[in-house]
Amino acid sequence: MTLPTTPTITVFERSPDRGKGLARDMRVRWALEEVGLPYEVRLVSFAAMKEPAHLALHPFGQIPTYEEGDLVLFESGSIVFHLAERHTGLLPADANARARAITWMFAAVNTVEPPILDLQTAKFQEGDKPWAEQRLPLVRDRIRVRLGELSARLARADWLDGVFSAGDLMMVSVLLRLKPSGLLDEYPNLAAYVARGEARPAYQRAFAAQLAVFTGNAPAGA
């Protein structure tokens, strides 16, 4: 009998968001908690992420990575998809519903996340440029376009396509990055959607685990 291998993920040794749960290991931790899979955590420094040992796992020198036996994955969306495919709880059994949930995963990282990342670039990497003040409102408006469209589609539903899925896990994770900006509050149904995601026990466990790395107060993994 082959015993299942406990997966190992890599996360920031020092969380730049001070444990707010915005780093992308949080999505992977959340997915692991949703499917009830124990995992181990390896902390990496910014310097170590750019060294050969980590670059062998992640060509772009980032976190998270995922190791399970001889399988190595990077890209949070791909890792969540891998977990959702191999365990129950994150993708519906019906083939069409499953395809739609996967579509929402792609929509989260490919359509909704890019303008949100632009805001972070505009604020933190380009905030001192002379044109930064002019660029920020444009970036915010591009986010509003996407939020307006998503808000219209979600309407009064709890989740994007019936039951909670990996599509919601990815979308909520992406939207959470907007919390400090206040933009989410302009769309009450999206703010409530994100709050529903955060209220899930699996999210809470994942959040506590990532916070513990920052505070040093509790076990880092599940």
Ligand X SMILES: N[C@@H](CCC(=O)N[C@@H](CS)C(=O)NCC(=O)O)C(=O)O
List the one residue from 42, 48, 75, 123 that touches ligand X (CB under 6 A).
75
Instruction: Report how many residues bind ligand X under the rule CB under 6 A.
Output: 10
Q: How many CB atoms lie within 10 A of CB 120?
A: 16
Residue nearest to ligand X (CB): 62
Under the binding rule (CB under 6 A), the answer on residue 24 touching ligand X is: yes
- Report CA dihedral (137, 142, 143, 146) to the nearest 10 degrees: 160
Between 61 and 186, whose beta carbon lies closer to ligand X? 61
Residue 183 contacts residue 143 (beta carbons within 8 Å) = yes
Between 63 and 101, whose beta carbon lies closer to ligand X? 63
- Closest distance between ligand X and the C-beta of residue 152, in Å? 26
Span of 58-66, 89-97, 149-157, 200-208 interacting with ligand X by CB under 6 A: 58-66
Under the binding rule (CB under 6 A), the answer on residue 210 touching ligand X is: no
Tokens of 153: 């589609």
Under the binding rule (CB under 6 A), the answer on residue 170 touching ligand X is: no
| Alpha helices, DSSP H, located in 45-91 | 46-49, 52-55, 76-86
Under the binding rule (CB under 6 A), the answer on residue 15 touching ligand X is: no
Tokens of 209: 């685990």
Under the binding rule (CB under 6 A), the answer on residue 62 touching ligand X is: yes
- Closest distance between ligand X and the C-beta of residue 61, in Å? 6
| Helix (H/G/I), strand (E/B), else coil: 39 | coil
Nearest to 147 by CA among 123, 121, 119, 183: 183
**Lookup result for tokens 């124990």:** 38
Report the first-to-last Cα separation within the chain, whole angstroms: 24
Under the binding rule (CB under 6 A), the answer on residue 63 touching ligand X is: yes
Q: Which chain residues interact with ligand X by CB under 6 A? A: 23-24, 49, 61-64, 75-77
